[in-house]
Amino acid sequence: MTHSTDSNQTLFERAKALIPGGVNSPVRAFRAVGGTPRFIQRAQGAYMWDANGRRYIDYIGSWGPMILGHGHPAVLEAVQKAALEGFSFGAPTEREVELAEEIIRHVPSMEMIRLVSSGTEAGMSAIRLARGATGRAKIIKFNGCYHGHADSLLVKAGSGLATFGHATSAGVPPEVVQHTLVLEYNDVAQLEEAFALHGKDVACVIMEPIAGNMNFVRAGVPFMRRARELCTQHGALLVIDEVMTGFRVALGGAQSLYAQQIPGFRPDLTVLGKVIGGGMPLAAFGGPRAIMEQLAPLGPVYQAGTLSGNPVATACGLATLREIARPGFYEALAARTRALTDGLTGAAQAAGVDFCADSEGGMFGFFLLPRLPQNYPEVLTTDGARFNRLFHGLLDGGVYIAPALYEAGFVSAAHSAQDVADTVALAREVFGKL
Ligand SMILES: *Cc1c(COP(=O)(O)O)cnc(C)c1O
């Protein structure tokens, strides 16, 4: 293949001259799997087309937001109408109120909410609020969970950082992370020990309820229950980061699933992003009135944003949420997702390849391991070279999964039974050559 015929390669060379690594977010660069990133020209429904005009079945969905697939007509119409009315006002709008109402209706642990522009911003702001509301400094996070790239959270973060083999980012002074305790996910004893040692200083525990930044690892019910109990006992806040799982695994988020198994379960603060923007830059955090009223302009915790609650983004998010709130939406999405993971499992078994998978709603994960891992070190026991062969085999055949073994996958409402069947048929071939 020469550069002149591969538009992806040509664009990548141009990009690398101007943008570090040629990308504006590290995992897009394919560093973990090798090869040339596909420059996407357009997308429709379950498909994306690259700069060479090649079509891919898209199981990344912009890393989660595109739950309806690309270019859903109702969402397109809402965005076009909003754009005609104006891009940004820097003043409040009715649509922000409507979106707040729509989100809170489905996630009742939030009485109040603030809209921001990215999951990073939402997570960072939720932590500042937790510290402000409790008057404490320490936070607890878990190895392999990702909550955005705020300084104090770049402590053995998963995802992009692990790709490059760094435990922490350069440029983050030790003083900034000295209050961040990193514990192993699903380790009840370690969490109890941390609270026994530091309980009175802990502002919050922040966690992904289903960790999509280590592919797909569920917080066990006893672990979640104990985290809730310990936070309550010690006056710390439980912050559930549902940037990925919110409106993705269920209409009420992952917290609605834990509430079915842990009576009275609710987080203190919830962090949202991805699906609530429908593909536009929009995220949020929220919780009980008494905590949220600590935020400026009512309280002493400062937080602000020029483009927060952007009118085009809120139109996109609102139209998306209204579509996914239709009866039967999640049942159909979950069934399609399960058909995919069941099909892949069958294909791997037929080829004698170690494989296990899990899914919830429109989010899935799979591992080239005999059983589902419970924490990040277990995820990393995967044979990376083997995963990379699988990735490139699928990509070459027109199926686009995340280019790293510790990233979740996403099925949208636009994925058809035929798309799943085509994917499984290709996987059967690729597994046979692993
Ligand atoms: C994607 C993600 C974030 C960061 O959101 P950005 O919009 O990329 O800043 C935070 N937490 C979780 C769980 C995520 O999946």
Same domain, 271 and 177: yes
pLDDT band of residue 66 (cuts 50, 70, 90) is very high
Last residue of a domain, one of 324, 343, 363: 324
Coil, strand, or helix at residue 385?
helix
Q: Is the CB of 239 under 6 A from ligand 1?
A: no
**If you measure from the C-alpha of residue 321 to the centroid of ligand 1, how many angstroms do you get, rounded to a whole number?**
18
Q: What's the confidence (pLDDT) of residue 5?
A: 83
Catalytic, 200? Answer: no
Last residue of a domain, one of 268, 291, 324: 324
Same domain, 290 and 355: no
Same domain, 187 and 315: yes
Q: Residue 418 half-sphere exposure, CB side, CA atoms within 13 Å?
A: 3
Residue 117 · residue 276 · CB < 8 Å:
no
Which CATH number characterizes residue 220's domain?
Answer: 3.40.640.10
Which one from 56, 58, 156, 241 is the annotated catalytic residue?
Answer: 241
Report if residue 2 sits inside a domain: no
Last residue of a domain, one of 297, 324, 351: 324
Which residues span the domain enclosing 393?
7-71+327-431
Same domain, 259 and 350: no
Q: Is the CB of 117 under 6 A from ligand 1?
A: no
Report if residue 185 sits inside a domain: yes
CA 213 to ligand 1: nearest atom? 15
Residues 32 and 38: their CA atoms lie apart, in Å, by 14
**If you measure from the C-alpha of residue 34 to the centroid of ligand 1, how many angstroms do you get, rounded to a whole number?**
24
Q: Can you read off the two tokens belonging to residue 125?
A: 């702001």
Q: What's the confidence (pLDDT) of residue 262?
A: 98
pLDDT, one tens digit per residue, over 193-205 is: 999 999 999 999 9
Report if residue 1 sits inside a domain: no
CB atoms within 10 A of CB 83: 12
Residue 205 · residue 140 · CB < 8 Å:
yes
Helix (H) or strand (E) holding 371, with range, is none
Q: Is the CB of 159 under 6 A from ligand 1?
A: no
Same domain, 313 and 378: no
CB atoms within 10 A of CB 197: 11
Q: Does the pLDDT at position 4 exceed 90?
A: no
pLDDT, one tens digit per residue, over 119-173 is: 999 999 999 999 999 999 999 999 999 999 999 999 864 343 333 223 478 998 8
Same domain, 368 and 426: yes
Task: From 60, 63, 154, 243, give the residue whose CB has the most ligand 1 atoms within 8 Å, as the site to mutate.
Answer: 243
Scored b (16 or more CB within 10 A) or e, 404-431 reads bbbbbbbbbbbbeeebbeebbebbbebb
Give this prediction's pTM: 0.96
pLDDT, one tens digit per residue, over 339-373 is: 999 999 999 999 999 999 999 999 999 999 999 99
**If you measure from the C-alpha of residue 388 to the centroid of ligand 1, how many angstroms do you get, rounded to a whole number?**
24
Which one from 56, 59, 146, 330 is the annotated catalytic residue?
Answer: 146
| Nearest by Cα to 301 from 111, 131, 137, 124 | 131
Residues 233 and 77: their CA atoms lie apart, in Å, by 49
Alpha carbon separation from 229 to 58, 99, 253, 262, 325 (Å, rounded): 40, 31, 20, 11, 31
Report if residue 365 sits inside a domain: yes
Counting Cβ atoms within 10 Å, is residue 255 exposed (0-12), middle (13-18) or buried (19+)? buried
Same domain, 98 and 42: no
**Structural domains counted in the chain:** 2
Q: Does the pLDDT at position 313 exceed 60?
A: yes
